[in-house]
Amino acid sequence: MADTWVGATAKQIARAVRRGDTSATQVVADHLDYLTHADPVVAAFRTVRAAEAVAEAEKVDDQTEMANLPLAGVPIAVKENTPVAGLPTWHGSAGARQAVAEGDHELVRRLRGAGAVVIGTTRMPELGLWGVTDDDSAVTRNPWALERTPGGSSGGSAAAVSAGLVPIAHANDGLGSIRIPAACCGLIGLKPGRGVLPVNLGADDWFGLVEHGMLATTVADAALGFAVLAGRTPQPLSQPGRLRIAVSLKSPVAGAGADEANRAAVSTATRLLGECGHDTLTADPAYSTSLGLRGIATWFAAAYRDVEAAGIERWKLQKRTRRHVAMGGWAWRRGYVREEDRQRFRDACLEFFVANGVDLLLTPVLAGPPLKAGAWHRRGWLTNVVANVRNAPFAAPWNITGFPAMTLPVGVRPDGLPAAVQLVGPPGTELLLLAVAGQIELAAPWRRHAPGFPRPN
């Protein structure tokens, strides 16, 4: 038996609990104890359900048959914009907080049904709008470098996994909110394609852009989490055949190209793909200025629709968010958010894969290092918008198309921060993306947690 289960993978924990090598109660107790001294360093959690988690772990241990529990005893965290029964749904700030949820989101229900224990909810920026995570109560920090952000909007979930507070964490992604934090914190982060997983119950889904997923330290854990969320029986990943993979450094946003370290990460991934037996070629998707403007208008309008649908009082929101909501109302009333525009881009991207005869696309995730951590919610709206758009331009197009996309680590940047790339596939390629990521992981294993984490007591 391990001295502590902190730092173990979800698969290792679940296997040990099912075999009787440990108990769910012991695993959860280890993580709750670790969380009390480690979370103040990174501020990943909004709410910790200590007593409730222990009681739920005991219920897992009381089950006489665990063979059907792929996440038996695994402590998990849920992003705070996703309903967990008995907790307020925060949406990133006190001003955006909603009432105590009477029931679990369907995905939380699936996680519990697989034997997972929800130990708390993780922090996010207000309304999930920003690629940094902070509010009046705390600044969430990147375990790799505490002066940097873990990204957003699933920043708390990413910080929690990277610091070893939980082995896996729920996240969701409207314009990159799984993949950006995964890149900032050196994690695996899969955004499934449209319609694969249910979206938030009773909440706007950003015009169909939002998808749920999981953040993990290994491909095996990412695949396990995806299977549970999708309501599927977990199966071993199949080895992919020889694939043809397009490589693109072109930025969807003019003037926001990848820095040297992110370009080097793509070069590293390209080399590894070749060593794994795949063919690569240079080819760029058909990004356009019109696409960028329409995408930004949709970002604005999503905030407006969220506030209107939830009945949130605007004066309670952060100043930057109030301006964002106002711009969203303006964009919505003028008809700048149109499904036909998104459909045209989806069609063009499908044609990109067909015309080039490619199975997947490789790109950067970030344009530079993670942004500095700090009180971004006190800064001006334009400062936030420009910083967010320029720092992470590569993720958003794949929410617009609804294609599956994932972040995978590829070593370390010269500045000591994690290096990462994005893999994108046409609809239905979630398992293929995971399989290729598994090949990369085997060829060039990455550090599972940030240096210095998990921290000793």
What is the pLDDT, as a whole number, of residue 294? 87
From residue 181, give the alpha-carbon distance in Å to each of 126, 374, 446.
16, 16, 16
Burial of 311 (0-12, 13-18, 19+ CB in 10 A): exposed
What is the pLDDT, as a whole number, of residue 198? 87
What is the pLDDT, as a whole number, of residue 352? 97
Dist CA 129 CA 240 (whole Å) = 36
pLDDT tens digit sequence for 253-281: 988 999 999 999 999 999 999 999 999 99
What is the pLDDT, as a whole number, of residue 289? 83
Strands (E), 343-416: 360-364, 405-412
Dist CA 198 CA 399 (whole Å) = 15
Tell me the catalytic residues: 79, 153, 177
From residue 276, give the alpha-carbon distance in Å to each of 164, 249, 318, 331, 433.
30, 21, 48, 46, 14
What is the pLDDT, as a whole number, of residue 2? 61
What is the pLDDT, as a whole number, of residue 457? 72
Dist CA 118 CA 108 (whole Å) = 8
Dist CA 200 CA 97 (whole Å) = 15
Dist CA 406 CA 425 (whole Å) = 9
Q: Which residues contact 258 (CB under 8 A, 6 or more apart)?
A: 249, 251, 266, 364, 366, 367, 368, 394
What is the set of domains in the chain, with CATH numbers? 10-443 (3.90.1300.10)
Dist CA 91 CA 73 (whole Å) = 27
| Nearest partner of 175 among 432, 421, 419, 398, judged by Cα | 398
What parts of the chain have a pLDDT lower than 50?
Answer: 1, 201-202
What is the pLDDT, as a whole number, of residue 201? 42
Given a contact cutoff of 8 angstroms between Cβ atoms, the answer to whether 182 and 131 are in contact is no
What is the pLDDT, as a whole number, of residue 288? 85
Dist CA 101 CA 99 (whole Å) = 6
Q: Which residues contact 80 (CB under 8 A, 6 or more apart)?
A: 46, 47, 89, 90, 91, 92, 121, 122, 123, 124, 156
Degrees (nearest 5) of the Cα angle 287, 255, 377? Answer: 100
Half-sphere exposure at residue 141, Cβ-oriented, CA atoms within 13 angstroms: 14
**DSSP designation for 266:** H
Q: Tokens 């400062």 belong to which residue?
A: 383
